[in-house]
A and B are shown apart, each in its own frame.
Chain A
């Protein structure tokens, strides 16, 4: 009996060793290798925002497509939509010694140390969509949310005739994108002292939280002449709150990255909404830049993707931007990079 048990465990141990050995071999193989033709296959660690929302899912799909097209090996690290969970993923990526890291930072300050460590080890680091509190990185690829938010905030101020109460629902405290959006918003609003900003709280990029906060603010009896939400989730939650409270007309709302769902709600309910065409396609530029960097080509320290054609403000009328064949989750402009089949594969086609 005991001999049998020993044999059993021995077999299990051997099997475990075999699995571990194969995993190590796989990682070594992933760590940059020469193909049969003699050309080096570069490995890029993609530390994503992670499997947390549709934005990240689309960003990941674009990254995978781009890596395949560029012929590089993409190793995926899941940030799980949380800065604290992303940190160990960065360290895990550095330990793999990839040729480059493409990082979508979730915590600007917290990510700075790991990024500087990676740079110190000679790993190229491309920051995607958001930055850190240091300029010790290879390239920053960002739409410059601060300036991108300005036309939306200006539109909202104009719609409010530069006076009245403005309901503000924030994003995720400490998140760099939230901070830069706020900077753009505040740079406009400081010019209009008669606009009183009523803080409704932070929605943490959650539709449910945004709706609850907005419903509470609306129920307080205050009259709002305009509303601003950081992120598509906040704007969607606000619209739902106004519609469920049967407030008519719904005040103009600004601040979101445009999704098909926001446009649908706005069009169906005749709500004035200003949003930003800010598709999660920046990962294409990020991966391409990483490939150039590891090949020794010159890359700029900063790339402003706001200047690309798929970015820019979306102001009413919204009909020309809405595409009924796609689901609510599709960010306007994602179809400029992903084909219909690729969109279908990630549930974006009705």
Chain B
């Protein structure tokens, strides 16, 4: 009965051309409009495949809409891969995918937190670079300082995140500008300190974190999934999760009900910075060589994973589980195109088209309304 009410409400909202906003753990859609067309009447007006998808999605419960497409897309890609590139399912390849997923997954979890408070973090790549530089320089001649360097990486990530959060919250700097400026500052600091030539090495003791594990499952993946699980639980059941969604949906309303918007935002950016630093540590362990541009594409990849996973740019909408599935989808596409041995230029086109189709479909399914 409850599901039917929600369905009816969705239909009515859809008839006004507005998207029902999925509002985190307790998405209640109220204020139904009075003139909802009957589903059968809507079915008769379907004139295109996209409209059909929208209609089908409109009768799905919100959790299915939220996770359905990323899971469905990943399953479709996996099925296609089974036919065209069976090498994907080799244990060795799955091991590589898991190693790479652990890094992207961690960055994506951080990015979700920031997106949920209607921010964006373009400094995660720079934090990853800085983590590598700290590890490499502090362990240049001996590895006694490994633990200290790891602690310093986490502190650095938190520091960058807190600064981002304060700039956004207290100085009203747009998140895009604040984190982009922070990227320049962090990269500049790296260059000033290293003079453009980072000496040092990645300690051998760190490498098992990314290279070893239980069977084909690397330790790094367990770390990523463990953190992911904690974040999912906190966001869906805890007070902190409700505050995050409330701040993302409407900072004004959140403020009126006594939530410290600044504290919530700063904490989200700080966690994002910490997770980016952790990802940088794991990626350093995986690569095993001093590459000062190690965080290169992770800014955009993490944002893309979130978008594919249904996290909105406007804040307060989306789930970390969806983003993690989005990251898996993204990485699967990247892996499969690499395995395909296509021309690299063609690979880029394939990756782009698949992502665009996935995101377009997701928007359609999420909206549950005719375009």
A and B found bound together = yes
Chain B residues with Cβ under 8 A from A53's Cβ? 196, 292-293
- Which of A173, A221, A329 lies in contact with B198, CB distance below 8 A? A329
Interface 1/0 per residue, A216-251 and B, CB below 8 Å: 111111100000000001001100100011000000
Residues of B within 8 A of A215 (CB): 96, 99-100
Taking a contact as CB atoms under 8 Å apart, the answer to whether A220 and B290 are in contact is no
A346 an interface residue at 8 Å Cβ cutoff?
yes
Q: Give, as a whole number of angstroms, the nearest-CB distance from B103 to chain A.
A: 9
Q: Does B214 contact A (CB under 8 A)?
A: no
Bitwise interface map of B from 188 to 229 toward A, beta carbon under 8 Å scored 1, else 0? 000100111111010000000001000000000000000000
Verify if A199 is at the interface (C-beta below 8 Å from B): yes
Inter-chain contacts of B211 with A (CB < 8 A):
244
Verify if A261 is at the interface (C-beta below 8 Å from B): yes
* A216-B93, A220-B90 known; A54-B344 Cβ under 8 A: no
Among the stretches A29-37, A185-193, A204-212, the one at the interface with B is: A204-212
Whether B360 sits at the interface, judged by CB under 8 Å, is no
**Whole-angstrom distance from the CB of A327 to the nearest CB of chain B?**
5
In this complex, what residue of A is CB-closest to B297? A209
Question: Contact between A208 and B197 (Cβ–Cβ < 8 Å)?
Answer: no
Nearest residue in A to B201 (C-beta to C-beta)? A328
Which of chain B's residues have a CB closer than 8 A to the CB of A219?
A: 87, 90, 92-93, 95-96
Q: State which of B5-13, B163-171, B241-249, B334-342 sits at the interface with chain A.
A: B334-342
Interface assignment of B159: CB less than 8 Å from any CB of chain A:
no
Query: Which residues in B have their C-beta under 8 angstroms from that of A233?
Result: 291
Cα distance A2–B271 in the bound complex, in angstroms: 43
Query: Are the CB atoms of A347 and B92 closer together than 8 Å?
Result: no
Task: Take A219-B92, A222-B87 as given contacts and tell me if A204 and B296 are in contact as well, using a CB distance cutoff of 8 Å.
Answer: yes
Q: Which of A208, A212, A236, A346 has the most CB of B within 10 A?
A: A208
Q: Which stretch, B281-289, B302-310, B317-325, touches the partner chain A?
A: B281-289
Among the listed A60, A206, A261, A347, which residue makes an inter-chain contact with B293, where contact means beta carbons less than 8 Å apart?
Answer: A206
Q: Is B48 an interface residue (CB 8 A)?
A: no
User: With a CB–CB cut-off of 8 A, which chain B residues contact A60?
Assistant: 196
B347 in contact (CB, < 8 A): yes
CB <8 Å contact, A216 and B197: no
Give the complex CA separation of A312 and B297 in angstroms: 33
A52 close to B (CB within 8 Å):
yes
**Is A170's CB within 8 Å of the partner chain B?**
yes
Q: Does A58 contact B (CB under 8 A)?
A: yes
Residue of B nearest to A205 (CB): B293
A57 to B198, CA, bound (A): 10
- Kindly state the separation between the CA atoms of A240 and B211 in the bound complex, as whole angstroms: 12
Q: Which of B199, B337, B341, B344 contacts A329 (CB 8 A)?
A: B199
Least Cβ–Cβ distance between A26 and chain B, in angstroms? 22
Contacting residues, chain B, for A92 (C-beta < 8 A): none
Q: Among residues 78 to 133 in chain B, which have CB atoms less than 8 Å away from a CB atom of chain A? A: 85, 87, 90, 92-93, 95-96, 99-100
Q: Which residues of B contact A222 (CB under 8 A)?
A: 87
Task: Determine if B342 and A199 form an interchain contact, defined as CB atoms under 8 angstroms apart.
Answer: yes
Asked if A201 lies at the interface with its beta carbon under 8 angstroms from chain B, I say: yes
Which of A331-349 touch B at CB < 8 Å? Answer: 345-348
* Closest chain A residue, CB of each to CB of B288: A240
Contact between chains at B197 and A348 (CB < 8 Å): yes
Given contacts A170-B344, A220-B93, contact A328 B338 (CB under 8 A): no
Q: Does A350 contact B (CB under 8 A)?
A: yes
User: How far is it, in angstroms, between the C-alpha of A233 and the C-alpha of B90 when the chains are bound?
Assistant: 27
Question: Known: A53-B293, A57-B197, A347-B199. Is A211-B344 also a contact (CB below 8 A)?
Answer: no
A23 within 8 Å of B (CB atoms): no
B197 with A51: CB separation less than 8 A: no
Residues of chain B within 8 A of A212, CB atoms compared: 96, 100
Q: What is the distance, in angstroms, from B6's C-beta to the closest C-beta of chain A?
A: 43
Rounded to whole angstroms, the CA-CA distance of A220 and B90 in the bound complex is 7
A18 contacts the other chain (CB 8 A):
no
The one of A206, A209, A211, A221 in contact with B87, judged by C-beta atoms closer than 8 angstroms, is A221
Chain A CB within 8 A of B294 CB: yes
From known contacts A199-B344, A207-B289, infer whether A347 and B194 are also in contact, taking CB-CB under 8 Å: yes
**Contact A208 B294, CB 8 Å, known A54-B196, A219-B93:** yes
Mark A152-178 against chain B: 1 for CB-CB distance below 8 A, else 0.
000000000000000000100100000
CA gap between A305 and B173 in the complex, in Å: 49
Interface string of B147-168 (1 = CB under 8 A from A): 0000000000000000000000
A53-B293, A216-B96, A219-B95 known; A208+B283 contact, CB < 8 A: yes
Query: Can you list 13 A-B contacts (CB < 8 A)?
Result: A52-B196, A60-B196, A173-B344, A198-B341, A201-B337, A207-B294, A211-B289, A216-B335, A218-B92, A220-B93, A329-B199, A329-B290, A346-B197
3 closest A-B pairs by CB: A57-B196, A207-B291, A219-B93
Taking A54-B198, A201-B337, A208-B296 as given, write out 20 further A-B residue pairs in contact, using a Cβ cutoff of 8 Å, ordered by the A residue number: A52-B196, A52-B293, A57-B196, A57-B197, A170-B344, A198-B341, A199-B347, A204-B296, A206-B294, A208-B283, A208-B291, A213-B338, A216-B339, A237-B289, A240-B287, A328-B201, A329-B198, A346-B195, A347-B197, A347-B198
